[in-house]
Amino acid sequence: MVRIVVQDRLIRSGSGVEVTVLELLARLRERRVHRLGFLGSRCVAELARSCRQQRVHPAAQLVGRLNALKARKWLPRGQSHDGGHHFDAKYLGHPGSRVDVNARQRPLAVVGGGQAGLTAAFGLLQQRVTNILVIDENPEGQEGPWGTYARMPTLRTQKDVGGVDLGLPNLSLRAWFEVQYGRRGWDELYKIPTELWLRYLAWYRRVLGIPMRNHAKLVHFRPEQGLIACELEVNRTLQTVWARTLVFATGIEGNGARHVPEFISQNLPRERWAHTQEAIDFPSFRGKTVAVLGGAASSFDNAIMAAEHGATIHVHHRATELRAYNPTGWAEFSGYLAHFPDLPPETRWRFSRAFKRFKMGPPNTTMMRARSLPNLHIHPAAHWNTVQFDGERIHIDATDGPLTADFVIAGTGYVVDLTVRPELTEHLGVIATWRDKYTPPRGDEDESLASAAYLGPNFEMTEKTPGSAPWLSAVFNFSRGAQMSMGPMPIGLSGIKYGVPRLVQGITRRLFVTDAARYFDGMKTWQESDDVAEK
């Protein structure tokens, strides 16, 4: 019997264990969850029901479940997308719209309408660069991971990380949230529920009027008469947009691809495996066995979702112990976040090598949820030797014993590799990589770091051979592959507020310097008096 005492009421369930609220509180406090005002009776009833169904030991293991429940509390409220919170970008009018450094000219193209692309667009709008076009291959609301393959109840990041607001309090998640749920709600909020973040980004895009085109995929680009001709695939037809600059804000796969070991992709029929980033038919797993390879947070998020849909899950990972620490936590200071690119190449190389050695484990709360599910089995210090398909089932030779499964989920991450990006392949001969620009000391070589693009100080692509492709400086790379040159700025929320202003400055500088003669002509004939300007 699970008994949870809430305000002198008993809620019964039947798993043969008993929790008092004091015990639960003590465990929650150990995990620095101090406020329990959120735990309304509906949540408690749901918690008790879930204990009964899943026969979990409460207390410690309930914490993970609680966090998932807490995340749900904030979703969705009423019809409004924005809770009435209003932000008017016109209030930030300086230096005035009379001089738009890109007015009436070809647009600046931003590829990718996730949080980075949106923030880059806002950064440009803030500088009165208005002729911009953000494109995304996905439908509206499905840009980036948050509405699709981010299968966790909350973001990992602390709720006050900010970033996309570019330092403007009224544009922050907190301001938007407090209008809907009040200051107290913010205090009670543990971490940012994933769906809430998606709704906030939708509000952000709308309230800032970011010009965006969905269902448009950049497939090629080339220099043409001082512009970048961007070939977009829209409804299976090709359209060309000529842009003055091109920004890649293409996310975690931006300069590479999902990584799936060949022993999976070559030995199994395509319908029997998926990468964690793909659409997965979880309801079809009921009563089936699903094997998950990898010990990262995404592996466990997928494993939990499959287990909650009634499958038996086995997760194999190499580490003897999964540590919940987040290496990017070390990097959370303005020096590293803002000035990594100002370091000489040899120092950036050393940092990046050291950073790579950190293995980021799933958050504690994720592991608690995973451990609370009796149908989810974790196999530490184990990997797979071979995978075979006999026409019906999948046979896995794992180092801790054989396993037969119906479906495989590869939680095996991503690689940075410019050669696999179709839109980049025709320019590989001119794009500089680290291999072209820096030779590490013997013993410090690293193929994956060497293959990353070697970027200039404002995220611009650089030439392999100086003078061979000067147009590349109009192409900016704000995707994950930029990390080697730029540090954490393009890879998550912590760095975005440092990265976007740097990017924007690179773009506005380029526009101004390119058009300096035009501005000079305009200046010679300029006659506006103060009286006129003040009207």
Ligand X SMILES: Cc1cc2nc3c(=O)[nH]c(=O)nc-3n(C[C@H](O)[C@H](O)[C@H](O)COP(=O)(O)OP(=O)(O)OC[C@H]3O[C@@H](n4cnc5c(N)ncnc54)[C@H](O)[C@@H]3O)c2cc1C
From the list 58, 114, 123, 499, which residue makes contact with ligand X (rule: CB under 6 A)?
114
Tell me which stretch binds ligand X (CB under 6 A): 48-56, 83-91, 115-123, 280-288. Answer: 115-123
From the list 172, 245, 250, 485, which residue makes contact with ligand X (rule: CB under 6 A)?
250
- The Cα 341–Cα 495 span in angstroms is 12
- Beta strand residue intervals within 177-282, DSSP E: 191-193, 212-213, 216-224, 227-234, 237-243, 246-248, 256-258, 273-275
From the list 65, 73, 128, 156, which residue makes contact with ligand X (rule: CB under 6 A)?
156
With CA atoms as reference, report the closest residue to 280 among 294, 261, 259, 299: 299
- DSSP 3-state of 45: helix
> Considering only residues 210-249, where is the footprint of ligand X by CB under 6 A?
217-218, 249
- DSSP 3-state of 3: strand
With CA atoms as reference, report the closest residue to 3 among 77, 42, 58, 53: 58
- For residue 2, what are the β-bridge partners? 13
162 binds ligand X (CB under 6 A): no
Type and span of the H or E element at 389:
strand 384-389
> Considering only residues 125-144, where is the footprint of ligand X by CB under 6 A?
135-138, 143-144
Reported residue count of the chain is 535
CB of 30 to ligand X, least distance (A): 23
Please tell me the count of residues contacting ligand X according to CB under 6 A: 28
123 binds ligand X (CB under 6 A): no
Tell me which stretch binds ligand X (CB under 6 A): 18-26, 28-36, 150-158, 431-439. Answer: 150-158
The DSSP string of 87-151 is --GGGG-TT-TT--TTTTSPPEEEE--SHHHHHHHHHHHHTT---EEEE-SSPTT-SSSTTTT--
Pairing type for strands 191-193 and 227-234 reads unpaired
461 binds ligand X (CB under 6 A): no
CB of 111 to ligand X, least distance (A): 5
Looking at the Cβ atoms of 277 and 312, the one nearer to ligand X is 277
Handedness of CA 506, 510, 516, 519 (dihedral sign): negative
In degrees, rounded to 5, the angle at the alpha carbon of residue 145 between the alpha carbons of residues 235 and 84 is 95
CB of 344 to ligand X, least distance (A): 26
251 binds ligand X (CB under 6 A): yes
145 binds ligand X (CB under 6 A): yes
From the list 67, 102, 157, 352, which residue makes contact with ligand X (rule: CB under 6 A)?
157
From the list 39, 111, 202, 291, which residue makes contact with ligand X (rule: CB under 6 A)?
111
CB of 248 to ligand X, least distance (A): 8
Looking at the Cβ atoms of 51 and 155, the one nearer to ligand X is 155
Tell me which stretch binds ligand X (CB under 6 A): 81-89, 154-162, 375-383, 515-523. Answer: 154-162
Looking at the Cβ atoms of 417 and 423, the one nearer to ligand X is 423
- The Cα 473–Cα 510 span in angstroms is 9
Tell me which stretch binds ligand X (CB under 6 A): 77-85, 113-121, 351-359, 432-440. Answer: 113-121
Looking at the Cβ atoms of 217 and 323, the one nearer to ligand X is 217
Contacts of 384 by beta carbon, 8 Å cutoff, 6+ apart? 263, 293, 316, 396, 397, 398, 399
CB of 395 to ligand X, least distance (A): 29
> Considering only residues 392-451, where is the footprint of ligand X by CB under 6 A?
423
Cβ neighbours, 10 Å, residue 54 = 17
Type and span of the H or E element at 405:
strand 401-405
From the list 50, 61, 115, 299, which residue makes contact with ligand X (rule: CB under 6 A)?
115
150 binds ligand X (CB under 6 A): yes
CB of 239 to ligand X, least distance (A): 13
CB of 118 to ligand X, least distance (A): 7
CB of 233 to ligand X, least distance (A): 8
Looking at the Cβ atoms of 218 and 396, the one nearer to ligand X is 218
Q: Side-chain half-sphere of 219: how many Cα atoms within 13 Å?
A: 12
**Interface residues toward ligand X, by CB under 6 A:** 111-117, 135-138, 143-145, 150, 155-157, 217-218, 249-252, 298, 423, 492-493
